[in-house]
Copies of this chain bind each other. A is one copy, B any other.
Amino acid sequence: MARAYAGVSPEQRRAERRARLLQAGLALFTTTGFAATKISELCTEAGVSTRNFYEEFGSKEDLLRELHDLINATAFTEVRTALTSLETADVRTRITTLLDVFVRAVTADPRAPRLNYVEAVGVNAEIEQQHVRWVNTWAEFIESEALRAAAAGVAPQRSYRLTAIALVGAITGLLREWQAHEPPLAVDEIAAEIRELMLAAITRP
């Protein structure tokens, strides 16, 4: 039966260990690299036993997938709340906000784009599927803004599916380059570049 030990409930201790393992994964996957990271190293970094690891995750890949989902979900929430608070704003403001919030959310920790766009690529089929789902999610955001622009008469009436996917790729490419670059690229410039690119892409005839 579950009872409290050392003043904290088992659930809470498990949750804390889980959180520490996620942090350890973020730290080691983005430095040692995913393939080279051993489960024992994750446990040492997290201050947790291998036993605990298997209580929380089925494998290293599971942990990576959860991190990938977490990073995207965090950015998603931030972007959505920012956009719903701008319901009546004009298209340019909305697009600027969408991109600024996204870029800021995902570059706040430089390890996030590294994990998202480098380490979590080509690991297994499940993570690839999750990647495709997130690309679709982001593409739908962009698509719906483009359709708003079209409805407002500042963009042509057409399908924006491929344009949206291409723009997601552009953002991904810039962020992947950003995290690899020495000296680092300026976040503002990247956000500005993407904004202009997107505006040019959807207002083109």
List A residues at the B interface (Cβ < 8 Å): 33-35, 118-125, 128, 132, 135, 162-163, 165-174, 176-177, 180, 185, 189-190, 193-194, 196-197, 199-201, 204
Q: Which residue of B lies closest to A124 (CB)?
A: B33
Cα separation A185 to B132 with both chains bound (whole Å)? 14
- Residue in B121, B132, B173, B204 whose beta carbon sits within 8 Å of that of A170 in the complex: B173
For A172, list chain B residues within 8 Å (CB).
169, 172-173
| Pairwise interchain contact B124-A197, C-beta atoms closer than 8 A | no
Known: A169-B172, A170-B170. 9 other contacts (CB 8 A): A34-B122, A135-B173, A162-B174, A163-B193, A163-B197, A166-B197, A169-B177, A172-B173, A200-B201
Cα separation A19 to B44 with both chains bound (whole Å)? 43
Shortest distance between the CB of A187 and any CB in chain B (Å)? 12
For A132, list chain B residues within 8 Å (CB).
177, 180
| Sample (22) of A-B pairs whose CB atoms are under 8 Å apart | A33-B125, A35-B35, A121-B122, A128-B180, A162-B185, A163-B193, A163-B197, A165-B173, A165-B177, A166-B171, A166-B173, A166-B174, A166-B197, A168-B173, A169-B172, A169-B173, A169-B174, A169-B177, A172-B172, A196-B204, A197-B197, A197-B201
For A124, list chain B residues within 8 Å (CB).
33, 35
- Residue in B121, B135, B166, B173 whose beta carbon sits within 8 Å of that of A118 in the complex: B121
| Pairwise interchain contact B33-A162, C-beta atoms closer than 8 A | no
| Pairwise interchain contact B162-A189, C-beta atoms closer than 8 A | yes
For A34, list chain B residues within 8 Å (CB).
122
Shortest distance between the CB of A203 and any CB in chain B (Å)? 8
| Pairwise interchain contact A190-B170, C-beta atoms closer than 8 A | no
Cα separation A177 to B194 with both chains bound (whole Å)? 20
Shortest distance between the CB of A63 and any CB in chain B (Å)? 15
